[in-house]
Structure 1
Amino acid sequence: MLKDEQIYQKLLKAIVEHKLPPGERLPEDKLAEAFGISRTGIRKVIQRLALERFVIVEANKGAHVNRPSRQEAEEVLNSRILLEPQLIPDIVNNWTAKHAKHFYAMVDEENHADEQGWLSQSIQLTAQFHYELAAISNNSILAEFVEQLCYRSSLVLAAYGSRKSVSCDSGDHAELLALLDARETAQAQQWMEHHLIKVKQSISLDGNDCAQIDFQRLFSEM
């Protein structure tokens, strides 16, 4: 039987990758059946996701994947614009050749996903790039905050983004890595701010209707 943490990670991954799109209902009975646990067990996981704003729980209506409002989307992205450039000096100070190798490999993955038109995977990869980069600052509090903002940005992009939101139209991450390699702190900060502003400008608030989800099939494939 899967543990609560494993179920949480599977549900979070499905939301971030848009396999459970914004607005999708999350019926306890079907999810409990899909994971082979009690409704009480699945309710605990849903409540955790609700605390993190990935899920909304309404009395007498049940739970559904959060569909961020314009204000929430703007607040999340504005927070990233303010915060992430400020971590760049510490990232530069801690930057190593090992870091460069790892992140260039991530950029290759991003480019491949973009070439294949895999939007959900592109969203996940770009979030991972940013929160792993923040972790190099060695400020665990801010890095954890950035990670949560990146997850919430993934929800925003899943709801309202497009290929422009995660493609070179918003700036190739390899450009940032070159600046980090060269220890160009000020230029790297400017790049990061411009990049996040472009991501914000790329979102459109036209959401899509949800298709019927087969929870049993979805989570048996993950």
Structure 2
Amino acid sequence: MRKDRHQQMYQQMLKAIVEHQLPPGLRLPEDRLATTFEISRTGVRKVLQRLALEKFVTIEPNKGAHVSEPSVEEAIQVIDSRIMLEPLLLEAVIAHWNESAKCRLQQLIDVEHQARHADDLAEQIDLTAQFHIELASLSGNQVMADFVQQLAYRSSLVVAVYGSRRSVGCDCGDHQELLTLLDEQQVAPSIQWMRGHLQAIKASLNFATSHDRDVDFTRIFTPLS
């Protein structure tokens, strides 16, 4: 039951960060969050550490935690790194392609479509990252796959801060299109699709966004069951 409550808190926190209810740079005091969610500070700390691992939260010694705040320069570098790296893996992905790989990616796409229809932005951002991480793992190059995983998590924060529903919507390309190209063993079109997909995500970002840093946690979060 305790794990379920921690998972609920994690999901609420992630959703609030992605939907800009908790703005970048906002301090996340353990005592206030413990009171809001009615769980121990130890439990709060575990959730914050999980969010920090995924780059959504930054924890500093003697200062506590705050919502991560990627600079515009960092955001651009993260997406540009993905544009350079991910298309290069697709030839190896196709070389390792099989029915099992296709089924794993199709399952992620199906859930991603469900999240889109439910207008769940937080879930869409998470599933988009998971798709790219899974795709990179199919290349057989674990070192490169680890790089993609780190970049995908950092990219999720970038989209959460500077993006919108357009950043994970069909305007930037549906992953189903890429799956078709991979299944047809079309290397060059797959590379072209991926590069265009990531460039469209970059173009969708709004770096003029401003945020209110004074929030009421009790207004944002619902009681845990």
Q: TM-score range by the shorter chain?
A: 0.7 to 0.9
Contact map agreement 1:106 1:125 (CA 8 A) in 2: yes
Q: TM-score, normalised by structure 2?
A: 0.80
Deviation, 1:116, is 2.9
**Inter-CA distance 218–135: structure 2 relative to 1 (3 Å threshold):** farther
Deviation, 1:101, is 2.4
| CA displacement, residues 111-154 of structure 1 (integer Å, 9 cap, x when unaligned) | 23223322121111111111111111122222122112111111
**Inter-CA distance 44–139: structure 2 relative to 1 (3 Å threshold):** same
Contact map agreement 1:180 1:188 (CA 8 A) in 2: yes
| CA displacement, residues 150-178 of structure 1 (integer Å, 9 cap, x when unaligned) | 11111111111112111110011111101
Contact map agreement 1:165 1:199 (CA 8 A) in 2: yes
Q: Which amino acid aligns with 2:117?
A: E
**Inter-CA distance 87–136: structure 2 relative to 1 (3 Å threshold):** same
Identity %: 46
Indicate the SS of the match to 1:25. Answer: coil
Q: Which amino acid aligns with 1:181?
A: D
Q: Which amino acid aligns with 2:153?
A: Y
Q: TM-score, normalised by structure 1?
A: 0.80
Aligned residues: 218
Structure 1: distance between partners of 2:64 and 2:91: 45
**Inter-CA distance 99–51: structure 2 relative to 1 (3 Å threshold):** closer
**Inter-CA distance 172–45: structure 2 relative to 1 (3 Å threshold):** closer
Structure 1: distance between partners of 2:12 and 2:143: 23
**Inter-CA distance 8–65: structure 2 relative to 1 (3 Å threshold):** farther
Structure 1: distance between partners of 2:32 and 2:123: 25
Contact map agreement 1:15 1:21 (CA 8 A) in 2: no
Structure 1: distance between partners of 2:198 and 2:8: 26
Q: Which amino acid aligns with 2:218?
A: D
Contact map agreement 2:90 2:187 (CA 8 A) in 1: yes
Matched, 1:152 2:151: no
The one of 95, 99, 102 aligned to 2:101: 99
* 2:18 aligned residue: 18
Unaligned ranges ≥5, structure 1? none
Q: Which amino acid aligns with 1:166?
A: V
The one of 166, 169, 173 aligned to 1:167: 169
Q: CA RMSD in A?
A: 3.2
* 1:142 aligned residue: 144
Contact map agreement 2:9 2:224 (CA 8 A) in 1: no
Unaligned ranges ≥5, structure 2? none
Structure 2: distance between partners of 1:52 and 1:204: 22
Matched, 1:209 2:192: no
